[in-house]
Amino acid sequence: MCRREWTVPMLLELSGDDGRWGYAKVRTETKYFETSLGRTYTGAQAVQCDKIYLQLRTRSDPYTFLRTDVIVQTLLHELAHISTRGGHGMDFYWRNMKLLKELERDVKEDLVKVGAWSIPKRVAFPNEVKGLNRAFVALVSNSIFMGDKRQPKPFDNFGVAGGQTGRGTKLFLNKNVDVNDNQIFQPV
């Protein structure tokens, strides 16, 4: 957060009755964006986060806490809403993926002292990304990890329309992408 000069004045626990893992209360401004084709459009862009609510306990037992990696994954998800346009589009998942990679780098460089078990193993929860958004997220994650060094092949490992492989295995985003392969999604 310091790197991006973000502040979150309040971090609160979300009731298990709410049904969500977390949410961010952000202030938005109407911005004018220009596309590469010269078209201008307006959209709401989150400019400041006032509160983040996170579910810390399991829904079935209020005395049992969720695993740390699940809480951190939800926090990164909510932080990704800051300075992104709209909801869960390409720029949102791009930011979410970058925040996760920054966390991994900070832990590796001992800037953040946490155990490896505290770092999420994926960017999105199973079934969070569906349909064509899966293809967009695959392209975004490939471009983050592979840069311009080679052409990504995001469609090799998952079915775009159904979101499943030929074997019927459900897939979700995998943060452990090696630049030498295209394993963006990992079987559940």
Task: Give the Cα separation of 183 and 96 in Å (integer).
Answer: 18
Task: Give the Cα separation of 29 and 7 in Å (integer).
Answer: 17
> What per-residue confidence (pLDDT) applies to 36?
59
Model confidence at 15, pLDDT cuts 50, 70, 90, reads confident
Give tens-digit pLDDT for 65-115: 988 888 888 888 888 887 676 677 777 777 888 888 888 888 888 888 877
Task: Give the Cα separation of 114 and 126 in Å (integer).
Answer: 24
Task: Give the Cα separation of 86 and 19 in Å (integer).
Answer: 22
* pTM of structure: 0.61
